[in-house]
Structure 1
Amino acid sequence: MKFEWKGVFPALTTKFTAGEQLDLPAFEKNLQAQLEAGVDGIILGGTLGEASTLSAEEKQTLVQFAIEKINGRVPVILNIAEGSTKVAIEVAQNAQKLGADGLMILPPMRYKSDHRETVAYFKAVAQQTDLPMMIYNNPVDYKIEVTLDMFEELADCQNIQAVKESTRDVSNVTRMINRFGNRFQILCGVDTLALESLLMGADGWVAGLVCAFPKETVAIYKLAKAGRIQEALHIYRWFLPLLELDIHPKLVQYIKLAESVTGLGTEYVRSPRLTLEGAERERVLQIIREGVSKRPILPEYKNL
């Protein structure tokens, strides 16, 4: 499938049973809600997908299941988060064989590669697959920044097409555009900077709280791109306390709790993560319940 890196791409959570097995019925329910809301693609095996706890076989199951259920309506993207170049290439090639439409890729895991090593890693993977790729630039959480100079060296890899911009510096959207024009499509990867990034020219939003609030997320994107800024702001200001759950180390537990409240998932996570309890759970639950109680009425947005 040919597609553009534009619009809302949910970083889907991986649904588990109480026994930590894949819960495909719960996954399908959430997936259908995303499609109904009008998302433009889905991403599997990211941070929210608890990638570090998934086996290769489980990732394969999720990809195959998503492709079957989506049936060509939107692209299916698999995240690559590996410690070796060899394994990253294997994941990319296997994803292509399974029928995935694209890849999101982090710098090497567990080793802090330097400029030369990081560029070589991305190039090595890009040269071994035909799939379009989006680089995930998140130096806050993963300690390696993909700099503008690195992107300059990667520009000759035609299948490196986009960046998930998670530096938490919204000015980086403008820096990328000033340096590269439209060579790389830019998707905001931080929920609390999404509207700001879209207004600065970002092409899309790799979203987290979309897992629990798909319609509101897509509405903000559509309204912003249609120039209906005040309507987008109204929803975004309501949304912000919820979006802030995306920038906490326990974002997986927080967002899964939100999914359980909105009926789009369960709280179950895979160890070493543990479900929330006590005062922490009550604090997060209060934020979620307050947001749900004040949920805005959305304008018609799908055809914007």
Structure 2
Amino acid sequence: MVLTTSAAGVYVICPTPFRSDGSLDLASTDRMVEAFLNAGATGLTILGIMGEAPKLAAEESFSYAKQVLAAVSGRVPVIVGVSAAGFAAMSALSRKVMDAGAAGVMIAPPSTLRTDDQIVSYFADAVEAIGPNVPFVIQDYPLVTNVVMTPKVIMRIIEENPSCVMLKHEDWPGLDKITTLRRASDQGQVRRVSILCGNGGLFLPFEMERGADGAMTGYAYPEMLVGVVNLIKAGKRTEAHDLFDRHLPLVRYETQPSLGLAVRKYVLKRRGIIVSETLRKPGPKLSPETIADIEWMMERIERS
């Protein structure tokens, strides 16, 4: 299964489950994959920023990727984050996961890039490292990478690299960027690629209305993401926003810097999807007061 520019729907960002001692929890990984697919995911993305990829050893990253790919068993495409400090590591992981059945890879620019030409050159070098036949996703997440990619830079990367099939849009504010890119492709100024949006889905209904093809993000209730995307596509704007608004307090809670992943893992544990909410050290721990907040929000969501 190969990633293409027609990718759409919800590609759920998977956290990496750990046991309480910090080791990989592959049994929870299998259960998590089934839960996300049952929620309606059209794809999965692993080893991203919310997957704690920088905290994994190289052999752990591949072991986890193999486990997810085996659990998915070809039912949906799997994208693997391969961002690395150097191209040797990026190349090695890309080769291994593509051979194991990944649909494509995702690459975020390093924080050292400053100019437009540096950004474009970096992605050209990345494509050389992973191979020109490997479909890749541009991860545009300036809040974390500190690399600002204008629509013109993104269009240059798309045009100069035929293997670029998707933009993971996580700029904030960024709704007008989606509008600009979609207008450009509609007018034939750049070839059309898939746009899936992140940032915890915080602006998902509006991003869909601006022309995004879906979401590539995580949330402890991924069925909400799927519902919003499907309702917008069906022209049911009010129903989509009503569904989103019911979950918005928890979505907002999950987007807190540093703390958000701990919140998400706690909810996934409470829902029986993973065994432990453990994050790899260093990582935050939830206070009793924060846990009480989360429990209250979960009760409201599930009561509704």
Q: TM-score, normalised by structure 2?
A: 0.90
Question: 27-36 or 241-250, which moves further after superposition?
Answer: 241-250
Q: Which runs of 5+ in 2 are unaligned?
A: none
**Counterpart residue identity of residue 57, structure 1:** E
Aligned counterparts of 1:120 and 1:90: Cα–Cα separation in 2: 20
Matched, 1:18 2:25: no
Q: Give, as a single letter, the amino acid of the residue that structure 1 aligns with 2:194.
A: Q
Tell me, yes or no, if the aligned pair for 1:188 and 1:204 is still in contact at 8 Å: yes
Deviation at 1:234, TM superposition (A): 1.4
Residue of 273, 276, 284 corresponding to 2:283: 273
- CA separation in 1, counterparts of 2:246 and 2:284? 29
Distance 2:88 2:71 in 1: 30
Inter-CA distance 297–225: structure 2 relative to 1 (3 Å threshold): farther
Partners of 2:86 and 2:285 in 1: CA distance? 31
Question: CA deviation digits over 1:37-68, x for unaligned, max 9?
Answer: 11011011011100110111111111111111
Structure 2 distance, partners of 1:297, 1:258, is 15
State the SS of the aligned residue for 1:267: coil
**Alpha-carbon distance, 1:129 to partner:** 4.3
Per mean C-alpha deviation after superposition, the further-off stretch among 185-194 and 147-156 is 147-156
Residue of structure 1 aligned with 2:108, choices 98, 106, 114: 106
* CA distance 1:246–1:230, change in 2 (3 Å): same
2:178 matched residue in structure 1: 173
| Partner secondary structure for residue 135 of structure 1 | strand
Question: In the alignment, what sits opposite 1:64?
Answer: 66
Runs of 4+ in 1 over 6 A off after TM superposition: none
Question: 8 Å contact 1:20–1:269 — kept in the other structure?
Answer: yes
Q: Which residue type is aligned with residue 121 of structure 2?
A: A
Cα separation, 1, equivalents of 2:295 and 2:45: 27
CA drift of 1:138 comes to 0.7
Measured in 2, the distance between the counterparts of 1:80 and 1:199 equals 30
Unpaired runs of at least 5, structure 1 = 299-304
CA distance in 2, matches of 1:252, 1:120: 32
**Cα distance change of structure 1 residues 35 and 297 upon mapping to structure 2, 3 Å threshold:** farther
Helix, strand or coil: the match of 1:9? Answer: strand
Q: Which residue of 1 aligns with 2:31?
A: 29
What letter is aligned with 1:115? D
- Partner residue, 1:183: 192
Letter in 1 for 2:7: W
- How is 1:184-199 mapped onto 2 (pairs within 5 angstroms)? 184-190=193-199, 191-199=201-209
> Could you tell me how far apart the structure 2 residues matched to 1:95 and 1:113 are?
30
CA deviations 1:162-190 (Å, max 9, x no partner) are 11111112111101112233612111112
TM superposition score normalised by structure 1:
0.90
**Does the alignment pair 1:213 with 2:238?**
no
Are the aligned partners of 1:136 and 1:166 in contact in 2 as well (CA < 8 Å)? yes
Which residue number corresponds to residue 52 of structure 2? 50
The alignment covers a number of residue pairs equal to: 291
Instruction: Indicate the residue corresponding to 1:93 in structure 2.
Output: 95
- Find the counterpart in structure 2 of residue 121 from structure 1: 122
CA distance in structure 2 between the partners assigned to 1:226 and 1:293 by the alignment: 29
1:2 Cα deviation from its structure 2 partner: 3.3
CA contact (8 A) 2:66 2:97 kept: no
Partners of 1:136 and 1:165 within 8 A in 2: yes
